[in-house]
Amino acid sequence: MTLQFLCPGCEQVAFLQLQSLPETWTCPKCGRSLTPLAQAKLAEGGRLVRCAICAGERFYTQRDFNQRIGCLVAGIGAALSPFTYGISLLVCLALDAGLYFLLKQATVCYRCGSIYRGMARNPEHGAFDLHTAEVEAQESKYIQRGSP
């Protein structure tokens, strides 16, 4: 079980093992310290309930695939479609469908974007929801500003 997140100071990508979260993590690039919440809360069966980085409680699941690569493949298929009479789009569709069934799920925190891999799937975590993302963004602004 791994955790991928961005350093709050320099936005450098970092990885941690969930089985052995350190008391304090220090960014090798900017030196900022972060105290991962050892209470990265897991329910029975190893299901994620609370984020180890921001203590957020809202998550969504997605296939663990780089979206930029997916867009590049679709773009190449679209660019080649006039020359292949649309067959390149069908090849891209088949490739996309194959990857969908082969790749595992990753759980993503709405608040900080941390990606959890190798976790047991929590049935409460569905696909990305734009409304939930907007609610979380508004709450984050409120928390950062400080409540009156």
Pick from 5, 8, 9, 10: nearest CA to 21: 5
pLDDT at 110: 94
Q: How far is CA 88 from the centre of its chain?
A: 30
This prediction's pTM: 0.78
The answer to whether 27 and 15 have CB atoms below 8 angstroms apart is: no
Share of the chain residues as helix, strand and coil, in percent rounded to the nearest 5: 35, 20, 45
Per residue in 93-126, pLDDT (tens digit) is 899 889 888 989 999 999 889 999 888 788 889 9
Residue 35 near residue 66, CB atoms below 8 Å: no
pLDDT band at residue 144 under the 50/70/90 scheme:
low
